[in-house]
Structure 1
Amino acid sequence: MRIHIMIRHLNRSFVALAALAALLSPLASTSATAAGPDIKHWTAPNGARVYYVESHALPLVDIQVGFPAGSALDPEGSAGLAGLTRGMLDAGSEGLDEQQIAERIADTGARIGGSADSDQAGLSIRTLSSEAERNAAIDLAARLLAKPTFPADVLERERARAVAELRDALTRPDTLASRRFMAAVYGSHPYGRSTTVESLQSITRDQLVQFHRNYYTANTAVVAIVGDVTREQADDIARRLTADLPAGTAKPTLPTPQQPAATVERIAHPSAQAHILIGLPGMSRDDPDYFPLLVGNYVLGGGGFVSRLTKEVREKRGFAYSVYSYFMPLRVAGPFQIGLQTRGSQSEEALRVTRAVVDDFIAKGPTAAEIKAARDNIVNGFGLRLDSNRKILDHVAMIGFYQLPLDWLETYPKRVEAVTPEAVRDAFARRVHDANLVTVIAGGDGDSGGGSAPAAATPKKAGHGK
């Protein structure tokens, strides 16, 4: 479960500057992104790791504070704890209730929000860089991070909301497919857990307090800062944001996922469309095969209309409007997933063709022309992924959290350009085996083989990754 919570109480001056930023940031960052942003890194006295990019094009500063506090650390039987903990950081804090926090955010003209995923959770801040506004936003964010109160009444409200949303989601075949897919791919590994109604209902306030105390710690914090502040000001921001956090002890670790045995699982559902997912544990963020798998996947199913899967499954046979593949790199091997939707009556044939395309790709690899086209597209589009401070912040925070080299963004295009057809064929042959591919088919029981198909959708492009 991925929870995104963004509080937006903006005064007029901030709205105007945010609009100006949206208009000017691509222009302001063009020269910087050509060589990659200059990332400065240091460690604060309390152990927090700081990553900073200076940019004075606009009077704004974007900040992200991340912790290894994602859903993979949910205790057995308490799936959803990490998400509820993150989501309630702004529900109350040492003398401030929800309404007072919202009013203070509005007074500062800042945006304060955050998210939780499998690996990490944290807080994001966007504020004016002027001293008074910046200090007010940082002081409030530091208070939310270090001293949340997790009010019992708000917990009950948020739990009820999460249960209602989950029950609604469980009526849809795509949700059923994705949950069963992760469970089948990862087994007992933490990445395979899904939130249930029962797990949400079992979570107590004391568990939120303990989870926060265990994982929102100074020595595991990663503070990414991009914008209109000096190195000295960035250091002050990082220190203040983490000053009142518990020191922390050992950093949490995750086991390496085991490869599953190949299975085919079917989930009954009265939908006309069958949702098909195929995959296995793929790669980590620091995987030595990262770039061959990235470029190769663009050819296989990540390149939209130019990918092999789209050409064979959609264009030649009309089995699916959208078919895709992607790698999701995480702390340890995140999923490699192939997905499509097709009429239930043709799901077996669509699955057969999809598997044939994958088998042929693994056996023979891509052509030189396919690799050149993939490299050109990824490299030429890379600058658009760094054309604003917010996008740069996302990448800097990722580099910091996964402890990648500081020049990762600068060397990214060069490493893509260096990928050869032989490297792709070798990487896929070693990493993607028929004996480990899990297949889940959900729905399609409502299709009798006739009727018209739904309106066309644009194929999903999920082959890039960061």
Structure 2
Amino acid sequence: MKTIATISILSLAWLSQSAWAQTTTTPSTIAQTNPHQLHIQSWHLKNGAKVLLVERHALPIVDINVAFDAGSRRDDAQKIGVANFAGSLMDMGAGKWNEEDIRRLSSDWAVTVSSFSDTEQAGIRIRSLSQPQTLQDALKLGQTILSRPTYPQTVLTREQDRAVLGWKQNQTDPQFLSSQAMTRLNYPQHPYGYWAQENEASIRAIKRQDLLDFHHRYFRPSTAVVSIVGDINRSQAQKIATELLADLPQQKLKLPNIAAVPLHKGQTTHIHHPASQTHLDLSLPVISRDDVDYFALLIGNYTLGAGGFDSLLMKELRDNRGFTYGAYSHFNPMAQKGTFSIGLSTQAANAPEALKVTKQVLADYIAQGPTEAQLQQAKNNIIGGFPMRFDTNNKLLGWLSTIGFYQLPLDYLDTYPQKVQALTTEQIRDAWQRRLKVEDLNVVTVGQSLKQ
């Protein structure tokens, strides 16, 4: 089953201006030293939806993301998978159009809409030319897909068949098995770990009415974040956001907070697999989007394992030992604690030593932190390449949606380089020593017997 489905779009008449918003616009604070400054406008509609806009008039294109707090973390623990189907199947039948109608009409208009679902969010993405008639058509289909998905039984059955087939195939994939097992260790009862509990029975248990009920409950304007980038102005963006949400249930929804993540640390799991390579994962929930140590952890990680061939893990495990083609470390910040992870694959005979060396590299880095030269290299790479992270409408749209959904400051992108530049080796070492211990990390190995 697709997690993010991309389909082309079609038609609408220019938006009527019902339900005017509360109009508090807060521009982003621009750092004087940042030549790539952004002006993010933000306001709320009367129905509670948050709108973020960046005007870019160089190209006649408009990109729109509408996200709801309707990801898999909102699933019922007794019926896992409903959120993913409800979000990702919206664009496979809506209003009077079936799947083929949408494809045919969207091809005629050369515009696109995507419905998506992930752990924390679900919604739609739209791309269109800013030419009025084309944009009208795109928004009409986008509004219909968003507010009136039909979830045809034939489509649901087909996608369940695909999901079951994919699940069965994944049971032979060492990396999938490792990720699944690690998620069960990190989030055994938490909603962030629901996907790892899916199986054929749970997939088959989902009914069409479950999708309709989930959509009706969670797709409400009061939880929506509408992000828009492109060749439109504030007035047009106001109309777009209002119209896209107009046909959804307008009653405000008070959602319970997602529970904090209880730590289940220092556990080890080995899964036997006949592959010649053994996959190693080390991981633990550590970081949230609003974490006070966010920059110290993420920027420090460049030196450890995110800096490609320059990283300590790559140098020791690949260059010095020849254990692997690649080793990485990664932070995945979420609303509640997301993971810090280290991963690599190696020959089965090398797996025990590779695991030992990996732990030692991490322990040494936690104890010592980066050198001044290593930190400067990280800063040069991250700050120098930072404008490339939002040099297209699509990239900027992703950032805008993240800022809106996680309630980050509007000047987040403007101040990012300064926050990176201000970091010291002492701050990074202090954060890593406080937040990470090698013995706390959960360990999953998938391969032949791991003889220590």
Matches within 5 A, 1:420-435: 420-435=424-439
Matches within 5 A, 1:217-256: 217-247=220-250, 248-256=252-260
Letter matched to residue 262 of structure 2:
Q
User: In structure 2, what is the equivalent of residue 134 of structure 1?
Assistant: 135
Instruction: Note if contact 2:7-2:114 (Cα within 8 Å) is conserved in structure 1.
Output: yes
Matches within 5 A, 1:59-458: 59-193=60-194, 194=196, 195-247=198-250, 248-444=252-448
Q: Using the alignment, how far apart are the partners of 1:339 and 1:443 within structure 2?
A: 14
Question: What do the CA deviations read for 1:274-320 (whole angstroms, capped 9, x no partner)?
Answer: 11100100211111111000111101111111111111111100111
Q: Using the alignment, how far apart are the partners of 1:34 and 1:81 within structure 2?
A: 45
- 1:185: Cα distance to partner? 1.2
Q: Using the alignment, how far apart are the partners of 1:284 and 1:174 within structure 2?
A: 25
Query: Within the alignment, does 1:3 sit opposite 2:3 as a pair?
Result: yes
Q: Using the alignment, how far apart are the partners of 1:130 and 1:61 within structure 2?
A: 9
Instruction: Note if contact 2:55-2:231 (Cα within 8 Å) is conserved in structure 1.
Output: yes
Instruction: Note if contact 1:218-1:242 (Cα within 8 Å) is conserved in structure 2.
Output: yes
SS at match of 1:42: strand
Q: Using the alignment, how far apart are the partners of 2:335 and 2:240 within structure 1?
A: 27
Q: Using the alignment, how far apart are the partners of 2:78 and 2:379 within structure 1?
A: 44
Instruction: Note if contact 1:33-1:387 (Cα within 8 Å) is conserved in structure 2.
Output: no
SS at match of 1:188: coil
User: In structure 1, what is the equivalent of residue 21 of structure 2?
Assistant: none
Gaps of 5+ in 1: 11-31, 449-466
Q: Using the alignment, how far apart are the partners of 2:133 and 2:285 within structure 1?
A: 48
User: In structure 2, what is the equivalent of residue 29 of structure 1?
Assistant: none
User: In structure 1, what is the equivalent of residue 35 of structure 2?
Assistant: 34
User: In structure 2, what is the equivalent of residue 459 of structure 1?
Assistant: none
Letter matched to residue 268 of structure 1:
H
Gaps of 5+ in 2: 11-32
Instruction: Note if contact 2:314-2:327 (Cα within 8 Å) is conserved in structure 1.
Output: yes
- 1:101: Cα distance to partner? 2.0
Q: Sequence identity of aligned pairs in percent?
A: 42
Q: Using the alignment, how far apart are the partners of 2:118 and 2:306 within structure 1?
A: 22
**Aligned residues between the structures:** 426
- 1:9: Cα distance to partner? 6.9
Q: Using the alignment, how far apart are the partners of 1:9 and 1:39 within structure 2?
A: 27
Q: Using the alignment, how far apart are the partners of 2:199 and 2:213 within structure 1?
A: 21
- 1:115: Cα distance to partner? 2.1
SS at match of 1:321: coil
Q: Using the alignment, how far apart are the partners of 2:280 and 2:162 within structure 1?
A: 29
Q: Using the alignment, how far apart are the partners of 1:64 and 1:433 within structure 2?
A: 38
Q: Using the alignment, how far apart are the partners of 1:378 and 1:224 within structure 2?
A: 25
Question: What do the CA deviations read for 1:11-66 (whole angstroms, capped 9, x no partner)?
Answer: xxxxxxxxxxxxxxxxxxxxx98333211000011111000000110111000000
Q: Using the alignment, how far apart are the partners of 1:301 and 1:337 within structure 2?
A: 10
Letter matched to residue 41 of structure 1:
S
SS at match of 1:355: helix
Question: What do the CA deviations read for 1:306-348 (whole angstroms, capped 9, x no partner)?
Answer: 1111111111001111100010011111111000000111100
Question: What do the CA deviations read for 1:130-152 (whole angstroms, capped 9, x no partner)?
Answer: 11110111111011101111111
- 1:2: Cα distance to partner? 7.4
Q: Using the alignment, how far apart are the partners of 2:354 and 2:101 within structure 1?
A: 55
SS at match of 2:175: helix
Q: Using the alignment, how far apart are the partners of 1:381 and 1:171 within structure 2?
A: 38
- 1:368: Cα distance to partner? 1.3
Instruction: Note if contact 2:368-2:429 (Cα within 8 Å) is conserved in structure 1.
Output: yes
Instruction: Note if contact 2:69-2:120 (Cα within 8 Å) is conserved in structure 1.
Output: yes
Letter matched to residue 242 of structure 1:
L
User: In structure 1, what is the equivalent of residue 15 of structure 2?
Assistant: none
User: In structure 2, what is the equivalent of residue 25 of structure 1?
Assistant: none
- 1:73: Cα distance to partner? 1.6
- 1:251: Cα distance to partner? 2.8
Instruction: Note if contact 1:3-1:87 (Cα within 8 Å) is conserved in structure 2.
Output: yes
